[in-house]
Amino acid sequence: MKDGAGIPDGAGAAADAGRTPRGRRRRLLRWIGLGAVLLVVAGATAGWWLYAKLDGNITEDTSAAAELRRYERERPAHLASGAQNILLIGSDSRSGTGNTGYGQDGGTQRSDTTILLHLTADRRSATAVSIPRDLMTEVPECLGADGSRTGDRFAQFNWAFQWGGAACTIRAVEKMTGIRVDHHMVVDFGGFKQMVDAVGGVEVCLRRPVDDAEAHLRLPAGRQVLRGEQALGFVRARYSLGNGSDTERMERQQQFLGSLWEKVSSNGVLLNPGKLYPLLDAATSSVTTDPDLASLRGLYDLVRGVRNIPADQVKFLTVPRRPYAADPNRDELVQPDAARLFEQLRADRPVAVAVPEATPSPHAESASPSPSGSGTGDGTGSGTGNATGDGTGSGTGNATRNGASPSPTPAPTFTGTTAATVDCR
């Protein structure tokens, strides 16, 4: 049957239902449901795309992994389950995008900065140990990029990276310290600048103006935020800041990394997608890592394990060293202080650092103080020594003639800094 308007009864009822408040609500709910499904699908697709992009950014260092497997029997054993040692290598290569402005590309590269980062098994503290590039040490046999092999030799530390890349540097560090390197990361100049820019810059405080044409750095005195290009110049500058020594340059690098650690671990970065994604994109696209870290999941697991370490438990120091006897322009380890530091890290024991009141000269900081001792008529004697991480460690010891056990030797203290230290005193 049709009504007077010529519309079928059923169709008219449906049309009327669609115009009622209940009908409109039903249509609205259907559209909302469809929109929600589309949002979920779009979000999942975007999430997968972002994950795949970031995951694909990372360069996997398969050649270093293969070379390290060749020498597996010679490498140190793991002594502390759960602890991790990560070697951070800053390459001075002039090749690649953004690096040509720092000098001519000679076809070779050396490690401009090398830091051994120790993460304790309980993830309550981290210790970053700088290894001077001019340190004289035993460099093991290395596989060169052309397939040739170098022999063992006593040489400047940063030559290891030029002769055999990350694998040679890792083996040189392991031979020097007896510490097993679990992972490594290599970052060039361009990658460093990208990561600093991604977090919005890092704050430093300069006591004096800086004008260093070689480091591309010109800054006024005072507290300020350094972005990529300026930040790179700050950590590389050598002749216009302080006394021109590599010692002070490493101290600035440690202070800068402490500020960067605090910036990255803050909620302003980790909980801000607008800053977190650029940081992840910059980090993943600018690093070369071992296969176990060469994935977004591997890097995420690493960051998740260290993000809650308090700033005052993130410690920075330099291996105990002094001017090399045969060439004062090079360095050598100070023993037994260096051995004590390496033993603390191998055994995953706490490393204590003391922040110096003022930066001493290279020769003053490398001089090992003579132990002082006292004796008594009862045949007992005691000796104390105090040494700092730039050539010293501290400890006490007691001995008696009656066979009594000596008192425990306290943990050594090394000169250094922490991520909580403000470089503006």
Angle at 27 between CA 6 and CA 2, to 5 degrees: 10
Number of H-type helices and E-type strands within the chain: 12, 22
Q: What is the pLDDT along the chain (425 residues), one digit of tens a residue?
A: 445 445 555 555 555 555 677 777 777 666 666 666 555 555 444 454 465 667 677 888 999 999 999 999 999 998 888 999 999 998 775 444 554 444 444 345 666 789 999 999 999 999 999 999 999 999 999 998 888 898 899 999 999 999 999 999 999 999 999 999 999 999 888 888 888 888 888 888 887 788 877 777 888 888 889 988 889 888 877 665 655 556 777 888 888 888 888 888 776 676 677 777 777 788 788 888 999 888 877 877 787 778 788 888 999 999 999 999 999 989 999 999 999 999 999 999 989 998 776 444 333 333 333 333 333 333 333 333 334 434 444 433 343 334 444 445 566 888 888 888 755 55
pTM of the model: 0.74
SS3 content of the chain, % helix, strand, coil (to 5): 40, 25, 35
CATH architecture, range 61-347: 3-Layer(aba) Sandwich (3.40)
**Domain extent listing, the chain:** 61-347
**Neighbouring C-beta atoms of residue 192, cutoff 10 Å:** 23
Angstrom CA distances, 327 to 133, 247, 330, 364, 394, stand at 14, 16, 6, 17, 27
Identity of the amino acid at 19: R
